[in-house]
Homo-oligomer: A and B are copies of this chain.
Amino acid sequence: MTGGGVRDGLRTGEVAERAGVNIQTLRYYERRGLLAAPGRSNGGHRLYPPGTVALLAVIKAAQRLGFTLDEVAELLAAGSRRHPPPDLRQRAVDKITEIDRKIADLTAIRATLAEVVDARCDSLTNCTCADCPLPYLTIGSAPRPWGDPA
């Protein structure tokens, strides 16, 4: 009676539509190790477990935030072995650090942009406004102050 066995699951088209991705992308992710190879129908069609759609959303979310597919794959893989290594937590901690840096960078440039707006700068490079904030736009790992002649 559970007769069909592997018969149930979503097909690629359904998953793709619900997750808002291309069908090709599903196969691409499978190749990349982001999606486990799903079960197949007798005829060889993929049948995805329902959680797949949610998983894709996780992937897409992580991606929008600057994680590469390899990173996402690692994160997912790290958790998917049983008796997982303490890896996931460590990676999460590392990612948090990274994210904090990104947020700091974004915050810095946001502030600069706000000043640009505020000061009515008329150019990114040749601004003529009085106390132009632009020359102080140093963010992240800029190698040296600004027009450092050395």
Measured CB to CB, the residues of A under 8 A from B are 18-20, 50-51, 53-55, 57-58, 60-62, 64-66, 75-76, 78-80, 84, 88-89, 92-93, 95-96, 99-100, 102-103, 105-107, 109-110, 113-114, 116-117, 120-127, 134-135, 137-144, 146-149
The minimal Cβ–Cβ distance linking A112 to chain B, given in whole angstroms, is 9
Copies of this protein in the complex: 2
> Which B residues lie within 8 Å of A138 (CB)?
57, 61
Whether B93 lies near A117 (C-beta < 8 A) is yes
Check if B76 sits within 8 Å of A95, measured CB to CB. Answer: no
**CB-based contact A79/B127 at 8 Å:** yes
Contact of A51 among B61, B76, B88, B147 (CB under 8 A): B147
Please tell me if the beta carbons of B65 and A137 are within 8 angstroms of each other in the complex.
no
CB nearest neighbor in B for A109: B65
Name which residue of chain B comes closest to A114, CB basis: B96
Nearest residue (CB) in B for A121 is: B88
Q: CA separation between A54 and B125, bound complex, in Å?
A: 9
- A107: chain B residues within 8 A (beta carbon): 103
Q: List 30 A-B contacts (CB under 8 A).
A: A18-B144, A18-B148, A19-B143, A50-B147, A51-B125, A61-B137, A64-B105, A64-B140, A64-B141, A65-B102, A65-B106, A65-B139, A65-B140, A66-B66, A66-B106, A79-B122, A79-B123, A79-B127, A88-B116, A88-B124, A89-B120, A89-B121, A92-B113, A92-B114, A92-B117, A93-B117, A96-B113, A96-B114, A96-B117, A99-B113
